[in-house]
Amino acid sequence: MNLTTLLLTLVALSAAIFYTSRRRSLSKAKALGGQHHLNSLPLYYGMMACLWCALPAISVLVIWSIFDGVIIERIIVQSLPNSSELTSSELGLLINSIQNYAANPGSLTEVSDPAIIQAAERLVDLNRVNAMARALLVLIFGVIFGAIAWTRVSPELRARQFVEKVFQSLLLLSSFVAVLVTVGIVFSVLFESLRFFSVIPVTDFVFGTHWSPQTAIHDGQVGGSGSFGAVPLFAGTLLISAIAMLVAVPTGLMSAIYLSEYADRRVRAIVKPMLEVLAGIPTVVYGFFAALTVAPTIRSFLEGVGFENVSSESALAAGGVMGIMIIPFVSSLSDDVINAVPNSLRDGSYGLGATKSETIKKVVIPAALPGIVGGILLAVSRAIGETMIVVMAAGLAANLTANPLESVTTVTVQIVTLLVGDQEFDSPKTLAAFALGLVLFLVTLTLNFIALHVVKKYREQYE
């Protein structure tokens, strides 16, 4: 019985148990004189029995599936005549060819070794037995536990509490998935970074001003000696993020003020969704907008006013377009916090004879400031992590410069270039990507942490 059939059978079985248990609770209630004699609604009795049937069966199935492959492999290996003499990689190859032959006996590859053919036939047999045994065990578990649940159905049984507890555990489990994945990412980045730092000293990485990650793969090869001073990358990231924030913060904030304080309802209903469309444009689209439209425009403008040798890739183009991308972030978050400022404060200010602009400048914005700052910090961490626009518009040259017209590179861009293509995962070059990733992660984590804290503080003020 294959897996799909087994699962469908299990579903049918649980459904049957759900139905019969529900019926049983109803008939027991009827004997007592009505549904109100039941501890829970009949639905919960059905669900309880259904869970009793399905959960053990699925657990058995999962555990079985984890181990059956390994066990079958071991049986096959033991049956091979000279298995103990082979190295692990030879063994792996052998098992591969056995599996291939078993899956497709008439394959093009000529298999001459009778031992392999014999083993493959054995494998097919084992697999068939395995599937049968698995299906049998799973269904037996389902039936037994379902039957136990069915017999336990009684008016006193606290079925609802049981079902609720199960679903609560399910919710808990789901929230752990996200946490576990985060922890997994952190550790994988952390351990690879530690490997990197065992080759390149931390101080060279953090304080070095020369970035040239090309290393010679074998002796005598022409290539860089490998230089991993990440300061130019940090500087480039900062420069581009700063330009982005210079574009996004004033524009976003002012549009938020206009939308929340001045715009009438019709304007707001049109402009706000349009602004939020900006947030839905894929960054790669922004990227070629920056590379094909903005950067050449900037260059021809600058050449027009007399600059020479202007790079076609510049921090200004990348940062400017990134700023446009971030505008909806700033404006939407600021708009929310400005709207959350209670109207009583505005009334208080108007009541003292303040004008609208005085009220906005001196009461509304200061009251909303913590929330606005939180929103801006979130936008900064977004800018630091942004990759695509920078790859396309800012270039790859690791220049240490504060001139926005030069080409610079950022942490994220370097991670991409270090890991793209065929790479071996033990050279400092590739490991450097993980170290950069770690830095990036720490910076954005800190920013997010501060931002959320600030926003929370702000919420407490009015609740």
Partner 1 sequence: MNMATNTAETIGDNHQTVGTPFVDNAKLSMRNVNVFYGEKQAIFDVGMDIGTNEVMAMIGPSGCGKSTFLRCLNRMNDTIEGCRVEGDLNLEGEDIYGAKLDVVPLRARVGIVFQKPNPFPKSIYDNIAYGPRIHGLVSKRTELDEIVETSLQKAGLWNEVKDRLDAPGTGLSGGQQQRLCIARTIAVSPEVILMDEPCSALDPIATAKIEELIAELSENYTIAIVTHSMQQAARVSNRTAYFHLGKLIEVNETEKVFTNPDHQLTEAYITGRFG
Interacting residues with partner 1 (CB under 8 A): 342, 344-355, 358, 362-363, 366-367, 461
- The token duo for 256 is 């938020």
Task: Give least dist CB 350 to partner 1, A.
Answer: 6
Nearer to partner 1, 182 or 355 (CB): 355
Residue pair 360/282 in contact (Cβ under 8 Å)? The answer is no
Residue pair 312/392 in contact (Cβ under 8 Å)? The answer is no
Nearest to 142 by CA among 13, 287, 35: 13
Nearer to partner 1, 250 or 366 (CB): 366
Nearer to partner 1, 139 or 345 (CB): 345
Task: Give least dist CB 377 to partner 1, A.
Answer: 20
Nearer to partner 1, 446 or 461 (CB): 461
Nearer to partner 1, 4 or 344 (CB): 344
CA distance 311 to 267: 41
- 3-state DSSP helix/strand/coil percent for the chain, to nearest 5? 80, 0, 20
Nearer to partner 1, 154 or 461 (CB): 461
Nearer to partner 1, 304 or 353 (CB): 353
- The token duo for 142 is 């389902």
Task: Give least dist CB 272 to partner 1, A.
Answer: 18
How is 16-49 classified by DSSP, letter by letter? HHHHHHHHHHHHHHHHHTSGGGSSS-HHHHHHHH
Task: Give least dist CB 341 to partner 1, A.
Answer: 9
CA distance 361 to 439: 38
Task: Let me know how long the chain is.
Answer: 463
The dihedral through the CA atoms of 108, 114, 116, 120 has a sign that is positive
Helices (H), 214-294: 231-257, 265-280, 283-289
First to last CA, the chain: 60
Residue pair 153/49 in contact (Cβ under 8 Å)? The answer is yes
Nearer to partner 1, 299 or 346 (CB): 346
Residue pair 439/230 in contact (Cβ under 8 Å)? The answer is yes
CA distance 51 to 159: 11
HSE-CB at 154 with a 13 A cutoff on CA atoms is 5
